[in-house]
Amino acid sequence: MSIRARIAAIASSALIGISQFVPSAVSAQPIRVLLVSHQLQTVIASEGGVVVRAPESGPAPLLQPEITTVLDVRPGTGGLMLAGAVPAGPSVIVDPLIDTSPLVVDGRTYRGRILVSEASDATLEVVDQLDMEQYLYGVVGAEMDPAWPEVALQAQAIASRSYAAARYALHEHPDYDVQAGEQDQAYGGVNAETQSAVDAVESTRDVILVYQYRVVKAYYSSCDGGYTADGSELSDPEPYLRAQPDPYAAESPHLSWSAAVPVSAFQRAFAEQVADVGDITSVSPGPADPSGRLATVTVTGTAGRRTIPGTLFRRLAGRHLVKSTRIASLSLDGDVIDVKGSGFGHGVGMSQWGAKDMADQGMGINAILSFYYRGTMLSRL
């Protein structure tokens, strides 16, 4: 039996009667992905031509699609300005004239259609609207090494689909469902697609995780450093997101790390976003939670002292420098803050390096997902 057939068997037999509680409309509706915001210009192109319409004006194009292959969009006075000369309303929809010539937005190629809107601060929001499975091609390809085991890529596809479906159901923003980037999931469009990523998505098509009839918010990160974080780390204490030891990811380069954070840059960021405590004289760790992640960090300066959440310390220091809040030691050493820790990312849910390690050991999709999302089961959209 193929892996896809095994997934289908699990999804159909393990959850008979459950799928009626899962929002099947998600699979039928396109997902809206915020590509960029607070931008003053976007350039959209297609070799086959672009069709530009105003949502409120019906099907008539605003420009001649047969001769329009490059479109410059900027905020204007009372609406958008197209090609420097054509005024439009507050938003436009851009489709490729020919399906085989997808749209290129600011140098990156995307499937689907593009929605450009003028925000309240007179900047642009650019949204890609496309099929869920095609969206996942560009997520799995961006989130996981295409050379990793097939099972790990399939686990990533199911986690990413579940996360996106859960975000879709929340309707938190009127103009988009998810953001491309660290706020939600990496999404690189067609440029990030690989054959192994597409295969992983297609072999798990429509398969999601559910917990007590609800789609799982399947958070994940690169490496949990040997201990997953509780969902409360992301202000989302779901019962399937529990802190627990993680014996996998032995090959991860992020299991242990050290960082030297420049005091000058940290002090400037601290003054701008927290308070001006003068010249920093000490940085000390506060208590840690059961997973070893710092709850607080105290910063002392010549003009005062402030205690901030560990997550804020990481953001001010730089998320790619201080890779997680699972910090073993923290001290001021001259003009740098010395930090030693383990893991990369928030640590909630699936560890991508852990999924790879489990797959390398011959474990299957169910073993991976049930370890990181306790008590969940497979179902279909």
Res 321 pLDDT > 60? yes
The confidence score (pLDDT) of residue 25 equals 54
pLDDT of residue 65: 73
Sign, CA dihedral 332-337-339-343, equals positive
pLDDT (0 to 100) of residue 78 = 84
Nearest-10 crossing angle of helices 195-203, 132-143: 130
DSSP per-residue letters across 36-79: EEEES-EEEE-TT-EEEE-TTSTT--SS-TTT--EEEEEE-SSS
Q: Does position 343 have pLDDT exceeding 50, yes or no?
A: yes
Reduced to 3 states (helix: H, G, I; strand: E, B; else coil), residue 22 is: coil
Residue 10 has a pLDDT of 44
What pLDDT band is residue 11 in, cutting at 50, 70 and 90? very low
**pLDDT per residue as tens digits for the range 141-156:** 999 999 999 999 999 9
Q: The tokens 């840690």 sit on which residue?
A: 288
Q: What is the mean pLDDT of residues 271-275?
A: 97
- Check pLDDT > 80 for residue 60: no
- Mean model confidence pLDDT for the chain: 92
pLDDT in tens, 207-226: 999 999 999 999 999 999 99
User: Residue 250: which residues within 8 A CB-CB, separation 6 or more?
Assistant: 357
Q: Mean pLDDT across the stretch 106-133?
A: 96
> Given pLDDT bands bounded at 50, 70 and 90, which one contains residue 7?
very low
pLDDT over 90 (residue 176): yes
- Return the ∠ at Cα 172 (arms to 138 and 105), rounded to 5°: 35
Mean pLDDT, to the nearest integer, of 21-35?
Answer: 73
pLDDT class for 28, splitting at 50, 70, 90? low
Span of 7-11, 103-107, 204-208 with lowest mean pLDDT: 7-11
Mean pLDDT lowest among 28-32, 117-121, 258-262, 334-338: 28-32
Does position 92 have pLDDT exceeding 50, yes or no? yes
The more confidently predicted of residues 105 and 88 is: 105
CB atoms within 10 A of CB 41: 12
In this model, does residue 26 exceed pLDDT 50? yes
> pLDDT tens across 280-310, in order?
999 999 999 999 999 999 999 999 999 999 9
CA nearest neighbour of 220 among 151, 135, 163, 153: 163
Mean pLDDT of 24-31: 71
* AA identity, residue 20: Q
The DSSP element (H or E) to which 124 belongs, if any, is: strand 124-130
Min mean pLDDT across 49-53, 62-66, 82-86, 160-164 is at 62-66
Residue 100, CA distances (Å) to 47, 130, 197, 202 in order:
10, 15, 20, 20
